[in-house]
Structure 1
Amino acid sequence: MSAHHVRFKQVDVFTSTPFKGNPLAVIFDADALDAAQMLAIARWTNLSETTFLLKPTDAAADYRVRIFTPGGELPFAGHPTLGTAHALLESGYQPKQAGKLLQQCGVGLVELEALAGADSTPSAWAFAAPPARVTPLAEDRYDALATALRSRAIDFSAPPCAVDNGAPWLVVRLTSARACLELEPDAAALAELAHSVDTHGLAVYGPHDADGPATFEIRCLMAGGGFGVGEDPVTGSANAALAGLLNLQQRRPGERYTARQGTALGRAGDVSVHYDDARGKIWIGGPTVTIVDGTCRLA
């Protein structure tokens, strides 16, 4: 029996500098694979996510994607959305509508657009944040939160909330970017708290000074349970959750802002947010760069 190969790319998302963003593996032409095979590949790549490109079943969509962590399938995730779009466009795909893509995934249809000011190369795109369910953290858990983060710099004037847009995060505001970067959380207590509110982990953020490198510093502290332990380098779903929550809490810093993520891991994640009030959308964007380009042997 001859070997079966499909196209494969490994890309770095939310950066234009190789090795400074969040890696993603993309498997093309994956229609013949079942969920068990996809999970086996995701466990082998051992990245936070691996995506599988499929023919859409919705006629409006440009493509369909399934997103797997080494622990299971996700209905949505942000950096895989941007990374998959980049890989597909780089392979020569022509969108149904120039400058736009419609991705079919577990949460339904997700819109993408080329970032304003991007050049002709499809390296900087944004996705429209999916609708989210927001649940404020019960006040009787505030002490547990402070204990888990080992921090007294939590800004409770912006109540911590669990935000689920297909990838659930407990979003917590700190008084400053410095306080965010200085966090040394209690991993066991953090995992207990995150699991108690059915989230993947905590998305903790703090504002930079006016002359800082970005509007906010953000860190995504994972809670284990199949989604990894430790810290995620750059997280589209968490940045979408934060953007939506800032809007809901009437704390957004303007029509546009930027977030830096991954600093504590030696990365330099570059996230842009645009509140598109005219269309009622929030766009989460950033550049992607291809690191590995070739084929993957499936059998």
Structure 2
Amino acid sequence: MTSFTDAEVLRYTAFSSDPAGGNPAGVVLDASGLDAARMLAVAAGLGYSETAFLTEELEPGRAYAVRYFSPVAEVPFCGHATVATAIALAERNGRPVDLVFETPAGTVPATVTVAEDGTYRATLTSVEPRVEEISADDLAEALAALDWPAGDLDPAFPPRIAFAGARHLVLAAGTRERLADLSYDFERLTALMHRLDLTTLQLAWRADATTFHVRDPFPVGGVVEDPATGAAGAAFGAYLREVGSVPDDVVLTLHQGEDMGRPGVLTVEIRAGDRRIRVGGPGARIPDGSA
């Protein structure tokens, strides 16, 4: 547990049962006494891509208001911090739980289960997603910032902006090597993302019919890359359904963080007849003194 004077910050990783894998998040289970400036200061002090703050218990043990901060700004929704928070609450209660989070982006239910080996796993259900076109000029600017030639994109996956709580530009690489070689113009991409109100870029490569490798540049959050991105995973599921790349009822596996040395796995579930996307994965407490 990390203490920031008036806030006790728990540290969890999401989308991995190994504390050294997945995406680390800060979790403040009682942020009722913190204003936005203090929450931002706590997130900046911790240095993770996101920290979640439970600002109010709306229904005892079940429903909470939550806000999310990167080291430099508040964001409307964060999937991996939601998974981390749900698992932190389940561990505190010592049992599986069904939760509801009232986020700035809308209502997000989450369910936590506990396996026989003691591994906690959380699954969130996104807000209503949507997918929109990106202009040719904005796409060209994104590719220039990434230093990706247009010919390196996979033509089977048209570029789109997808939302499932936050906005993400989806770009599909034609090869695994293209995805692995990520070195971009931080300031140039930041400027474009602010103009388009993007939280991350969801860069993807399809390994097989239901398996993808993904990476998420996150310069607007003050970090080069997010190791495992639940909000982008939900948006990506909505995108794949919208462009007809997957069946209406399917479970997808997203591998993320391998190129950063923090491997994680996200499960993305699309259900026929339900517009919302479910994203799940394991999580674990990060021991004190660990990164």
TM-score normalised to structure 1 length? 0.83
CA distance in 1, matches of 2:126, 2:200: 19
Query: For 1:109, which of 103, 107, 125 is the aligned residue?
Result: 107
Amino acid at match of 1:89: A
Residue number in structure 2 paired with 1:47:
48
1:267 and 2:262 aligned: yes
Amino acid at match of 2:279: I
Structure 1 residue 223: Cα displacement: 3.1
Residue number in structure 2 paired with 1:250:
244
Amino acid at match of 1:255: V
Matched-pair contact (CA < 8 Å) for 1:136–1:159: no
CA distance in 2, matches of 1:284, 1:216: 14
Summarize the Cα distance change of 1:257–1:166 in structure 2 as closer, same or farther, 3 Å threshold.
Answer: closer
Superposed CA deviations along residues 247-282 of structure 1, whole A, max 9, x for unmatched, are 111112661110111122111011111112254432
Structure 1: stretches of 5+ with no match in the other structure:
295-299
Superposed CA deviations along residues 70-89 of structure 1, whole A, max 9, x for unmatched, are 22222211001100001111
Structure 1 residue 217: Cα displacement: 0.8
Amino acid at match of 1:236: G
CA distance in 2, matches of 1:28, 1:143: 42
Structure 1 residue 102: Cα displacement: 1.2
After superposition, residues 15-164 of structure 1 pair within 5 angstroms as 15-57=16-58, 62-92=63-93, 99-114=97-112, 118-119=115-116, 121=118, 123-151=120-148, 152-164=151-163
- Larger-gyration structure (1/2): 1
Summarize the Cα distance change of 1:44–1:143 in structure 2 as closer, same or farther, 3 Å threshold.
Answer: closer
Structure 1 residue 219: Cα displacement: 0.6
Amino acid at match of 1:196: R
CA distance in 2, matches of 1:204, 1:112: 26
Matched-pair contact (CA < 8 Å) for 1:114–1:122: no
**Residue range with higher mean Cα deviation, 285-294 or 20-29:** 285-294
Structure 1 residue 108: Cα displacement: 2.5
Residue number in structure 2 paired with 1:218:
214
**Residue range with higher mean Cα deviation, 260-269 or 159-168:** 159-168
Summarize the Cα distance change of 1:122–1:104 in structure 2 as closer, same or farther, 3 Å threshold.
Answer: farther
TM-score normalised to structure 2 length? 0.86
Residue number in structure 2 paired with 1:201:
200
Matched-pair contact (CA < 8 Å) for 1:16–1:289: yes
Structure 1 residue 33: Cα displacement: 1.9
Matched-pair contact (CA < 8 Å) for 1:58–1:104: no
Amino acid at match of 2:224: G
Amino acid at match of 2:65: R
Match of 1:55, SS state, is: strand
Summarize the Cα distance change of 1:194–1:33 in structure 2 as closer, same or farther, 3 Å threshold.
Answer: closer
CA distance in 1, matches of 2:288, 2:223: 28
Amino acid at match of 1:177: R
1:12 and 2:13 aligned: yes
Match of 1:91, SS state, is: helix
Query: For 1:232, which of 203, 226, 231 is the aligned residue?
Result: 226
Amino acid at match of 1:105: T
Summarize the Cα distance change of 1:162–1:41 in structure 2 as closer, same or farther, 3 Å threshold.
Answer: same
Matched-pair contact (CA < 8 Å) for 2:152–2:178: yes
Summarize the Cα distance change of 1:70–1:191 in structure 2 as closer, same or farther, 3 Å threshold.
Answer: closer
Matched-pair contact (CA < 8 Å) for 1:89–1:122: no
CA distance in 1, matches of 2:228, 2:60: 32
Match of 1:208, SS state, is: strand
Structure 1 residue 207: Cα displacement: 0.8
Amino acid at match of 1:239: G
Superposed CA deviations along residues 31-88 of structure 1, whole A, max 9, x for unmatched, are 1222222222122112211122233347995222221112222221100110000111
**Residue range with higher mean Cα deviation, 72-81 or 190-199:** 190-199
Query: For 1:277, which of 272, 277, 284 is the aligned residue?
Result: 272
Aligned pair count reads: 283
